[in-house]
């Protein structure tokens, strides 16, 4: 798959559980942070959208865990995005570096609330059009 964006980071010790692997909940943090970085890289700020009455929120998340990350592992979150009706679908894969082992496949569905009501906006399409 070709990706629109890649965000790299490193596992911190406190993100691991007693088994020495990243706690499953932290993968959601990784994917969320990468989405924010993706949008910022495309000139889209959640804070600015909120000031305009537009709030993009997660409606559904599917995560498939493949291989665990461990403390100090470097990883890349790679993102693709498509629009389906009112939904923005973020396809996010996490790879351990440098061997590019697939660790997680995530599908995140987001919608926009405009002044508190479900609505359509093409604001996030800017990110797709730039790529």
Instruction: List, as one string, the DSSP characters of 70-121.
Output: BTT-EEEEEEEEEEETTEEEEEEEEEEETTTEEEEEEEEEEEEEETTEEE--
17 part of the active site: yes
CA dihedral in degrees (10, 16, 21, 27; nearest 10)? Answer: -60
d(CA 87, CA 92): 15
Q: In a 10 Å sphere around its CB, with 0-12 CB exposed, 13-18 middle and 19+ buried, how is residue 51 labelled? A: exposed
Catalytic residue among 9, 17, 55, 73: 17
Q: Which two tokens stand for residue 118?
A: 């479900």
Q: Under a CB-based contact definition with an 8 Å cutoff, are residues 69 and 96 in contact?
A: yes
Q: Which residues are catalytic, by number?
A: 17
């Amino acid at each position: 798959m070709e990706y629109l964006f890649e965000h790299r980071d490193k596992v911190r010790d406190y993100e691991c559980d007693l088994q020495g692997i990243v706690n499953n909940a932290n993968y959601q943090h990784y994917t969320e942070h990468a989405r924010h970085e993706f949008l910022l890289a495309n000139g889209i700020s959640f804070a600015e959208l909120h000031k305009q009455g537009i709030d993009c929120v997660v409606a559904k998340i599917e995560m498939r865990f493949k291989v665990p990350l461990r403390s100090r592992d470097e990883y890349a979150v790679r993102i693709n995005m498509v629009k389906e009706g009112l939904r923005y679908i973020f396809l996010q894969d996490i790879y351990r570096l440098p061997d590019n082992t697939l660790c997680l496949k995530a599908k995140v569905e987001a919608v926009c609330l405009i002044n508190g009501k479900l609505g359509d906006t093409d604001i996030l399409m800017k990110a797709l059009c730039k790529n």
